[in-house]
Structure 1
Amino acid sequence: MRKTIFVVAGLLTAALVPPSGAQAASVGATVVSPKRPLNVRAGAAVWTRSLRTLPNGTAVAIECQVKGQLIDQGPVRVTDQWDRLTDGSFISDAWVRRPQAAPPPCTAEQLTAAPAAAPGAPTTAGTVASGAIPLKTRGGPARSAILYAGLPNGTPLNIACQVQGEQITGTMRATAMWDRLDSGAYVSDAYVNRGATPPSCTAPAAAPPAAAPAPAAAPQTAGAPVAEAGRWVSPLPGFSARPGFRTPTNPNHVGVDIMSFVGTPIHAASAGTVLEVVCNIEAGHSCDQTGSASVGGCGWYVKIQHAGGISTLYCHMVRKGVVKPGQKVAAGQVIGYVGSSGNSSAPHLHFEVHVNTPPTSPGNAIDPLPFMRTHGAPIG
């Protein structure tokens, strides 16, 4: 009998068929990426973990295909199909030249199998404890994230790290922590039996490689933010921002827009304290509905206060942020998910940086692009 996973947030559909006794033969193909090496990822979207890169012309063996993020800039085709290689990793089929016949759809076992881990990468052992109902694996730390497949009770788990997400009450505990498996998928820690607590996904590795000497601090100009010791990261890793801060045609636009997909996790740009989790929209409209260019307001947004009098603001979330006012957050922690609420004509993150705060105002907003570059976290 055939089982189907339907689209969640418009991002992933996978037809699952029971695995056969014998492995299906792999399909030979070639990477077509003449300008830059092709990223090999842990899942079927560009925001999943990058495992390695493949130069142009590399021969690959494709085990199966899964529907994921639409890629429209590949040299071979425009497609939402992603190829699962024989080591369990994924590449977009938009960058692959292969025989005319498409590879078969991935099975449930293939979708939840772990790709080859980086040498020496530590994992925490665990076991699914969900009773009679299989534990769902997802593309992010929330029940609204992309659904991959279900893991039966007792399935062994290799947990890479933990992130904070949606609060879940399960068989083992009530918690907002989600376990990222070494496959790149997420499961709620509420249904996981484990001995040790996995490390935070934002924590540094136990034995990081020697870092290059830090560059000398740039001289401060009047009104420039004071350099801080905290780590800064891109709020949407893997996505680029459109230059758009106070343009001649839109002088009141005091941030930059990072185009993405509904449900993409948004990360805190640096450690700080959540100031606001607010629905900002004109009367007669709802932040829980898709906005438009004719609707006023920032939609669902989160504002964070950082050290040095710096604040960041994240607009147009698909729903209320997963953090609360007064909560301490770490750099890279998931605070919400991309949407198109409020004054928005397409899914994206409107990202602002303010100095000399609180309060925030158009007068103390600065261009996020050079700010993030000087703090070692360029966007895109």
Structure 2
Amino acid sequence: MSPADRHRIHPVTDSPMKRILPIIGLIAVLLIVGTVGFGMITGKGPIECLYLSVITLMTVGYREPEPIEEGGMIFVIVYLLSGAGTFMYLITSIGRWIVSDQVRHALEQRRMQQTINNMSEHLIVCGCGQMGEIICRQLVNQNRQFVVIENSLDRIQELCIPESWAYLHGDATDDGMLQRAGLARAGGLAAVLSSDADNLYVFLSANMDNQPLAIVARAAEESAARKLRQFGARHVINPYQAGAVRMARLMLHSGLENLMEIVDGHHADLELAEFPVPAGGPLEGKAISESSLPERGLTVIAIRRANGERQMPVGGGDQLHAGDSILVVGQQDAVQQFLAETPAPSS
């Protein structure tokens, strides 16, 4: 998504633990000073002196050590005033930081929800593991709006916030979470959670609205992939199978490397994209050679007809009709410009 469309978030530069550790260290120093001081005054053992230090700082059940001389009294006065005051200030600071973090988190979630509510035809990525991260980066390269649903707060803080990605912290298998992500307005969804069962549940939940939604689901086990297809999933990806097939193809046909880089989006200049042919659009009723595609440097490599039939290879004399979709390859700028100029098909 473009910088204007992104929800800008200021990453947290210091975690609560980093702020609390110095306070814990200072409390430990106060206890050590008190233990040593009371030991010098009373000559008692370290455990009893530590006990005296704790009740002095906490101002609970305090009793002065016996016997105590004038020098000891001065130490107790100074330690009680400075130590107890410092201790209470530190405890108050911890409470204030905890409350402020909760308030800031609540406000951040509210702003994030408002940003998501303004999205339309965006994509929803359920899970931000390795596959989810790669998907998100591909969507960023394509300037597409998207929302990440991730259950791990650590993953959100280390990836989503620094990258300024719109996100929701929660369980993607929760129907309410999908609704908060704008499922009714979304243009597509990727279910790439670590559990095949969770991906199946997300797919079924997303299909309950009976809306035309492009859903891609991850399935590490073939049994899960079969179940997804039985329930109507058209796009099921087994990451291990897909990776192994690609490696085999590269070994058998090394010349396919450049083409596969284009398909995977790793080629810096070329891009592969699918375009609809809407009724009344500039491509309807025209042969490929008569359209503006060749002069734009876009090559049609496949046509998916309105009835679902696929045509490949494609010739210059093949005509395009409303409801068709074309798969083209060309320079990234040319593809993006044509995509921006192509009207969306009427519903």
TM-score, normalised with respect to structure 2? 0.29
Q: Which structure dedicates a bigger proportion of its chain to strand?
A: 1
